[in-house]
Amino acid sequence: MSRLSSVPLALVAAAVLLQGCSSTPKDETANWSPNKIYSEAQDERNSGNFDKAVVLYEKLEGRAAGTPLAQQAQLDKAFTHYKAGEQAQGLAAIDRFIKLHPASPAMDYALYLKGLINFNDNLGLFGSLSRQDLSERDQKAAKESFESFRELVTRFPDSRYSADARARMTYIINSLAQYEVHVARYYFTRGAYVAAINRAQSAVAEYADAPALEEALYILVRSYDALGMTELRDDARRVLTASYPRTEYLSGGFKQRDEPWWKLW
């Protein structure tokens, strides 16, 4: 019998167990203070190491639970997801913060960040709008962004974030109106005049004073004319010329855009 076979099985099992334990990754943050974890997380994020930063923020949430620093970690984790282009994770993190800390002094920033995440996600939607099938686009992100900004400026009108939120709200309204007009134009050019009328009327009814309404009224004029609805055509023409005395649509038709209408940010 070999010497190895004479070793008690219990000792062999213990040795295997110890060997397995020795392979467990060491937590280098075990002896770090919460402030050091936060500082390291910030450094990782600023260096573009978003995954590492998120892990550190999550550790900080646990280590500093119940403190303002833990709340800050939750907000910074949401912002890090946003910077990494991870909209779903960012929204989940910010929604969790809003639910857990409804009275937080940082609620204005939380609402701003939620609006910003949806807003930037929505830029991708608007970014190639004129080159896509416009009848199938989803406006959910834009509308949710608007609602977050509206809650911010309503609840915290003097917040440092409110001025920018108001500007973005105006942009969103103009974007949504322009979207409706793009869809109306899409239908008009394909001979779907009733659908074009419906979308143009929607823009006129829902988005007062948006720049796109001039074209919406022109689409109504052209669509009613194509359907032989002369009274409605003339009514739409009167509204168009009264609202936009210098309109060039009636003489020049649809305009060609060299640059995307949405390109503001």
In this prediction, residue 152 has a pLDDT band, given cuts at 50, 70 and 90, of very high
Answer with the residue of higher pLDDT: 5 or 171: 171
pLDDT for residue 121: 64
Asked if residue 206 has pLDDT above 50, the reply is yes
In this prediction, residue 1 has a pLDDT band, given cuts at 50, 70 and 90, of very low
Q: Which CATH superfamily is domain 106-265 in?
A: Tetratricopeptide repeat domain (1.25.40.10)
The predicted model gives 3-21 an average pLDDT of 52
Percentage of residues in the chain with pLDDT exceeding 70?
Answer: 80
The predicted model gives 77-86 an average pLDDT of 95
The predicted model gives 207-235 an average pLDDT of 96
Domain residue spans in the chain? 32-97, 106-265
The predicted model gives 62-84 an average pLDDT of 94
Nearest-5° Cα angle at 234, 228 to 240 = 125
The predicted model gives 98-123 an average pLDDT of 91
Out of 90-99, 114-123, 141-150, 185-194, least confident range: 114-123
Q: Do 32-97 and 106-265 share a fold?
A: yes
pLDDT for residue 234: 97
Asked if residue 15 has pLDDT above 90, the reply is no
Q: CA–CA separation, 39 vs 75, rounded Å?
A: 15
Q: CA–CA separation, 40 vs 199, rounded Å?
A: 52
Asked if residue 190 has pLDDT above 60, the reply is yes
Mean pLDDT across the chain? 85
If we measure between CA atoms, which residue out of 82, 153, 68 comes closest to residue 113? 82
pLDDT for residue 30: 82
pLDDT for residue 36: 95
Classify 32-97 by CATH class: mainly alpha
The predicted model gives 30-50 an average pLDDT of 94
Angle, in degrees to the nearest 10, between helices 213-226 and 230-243: 160
In this prediction, residue 261 has a pLDDT band, given cuts at 50, 70 and 90, of very low
Q: Is 247 helix (H, G, I), strand (E, B) or coil?
A: coil
The predicted model gives 42-46 an average pLDDT of 96
Can you read off the two tokens belonging to residue 1? 């019998």
Q: CA–CA separation, 24 vs 46, rounded Å?
A: 29
* Eight-class DSSP state of 106: T
pLDDT for residue 26: 78
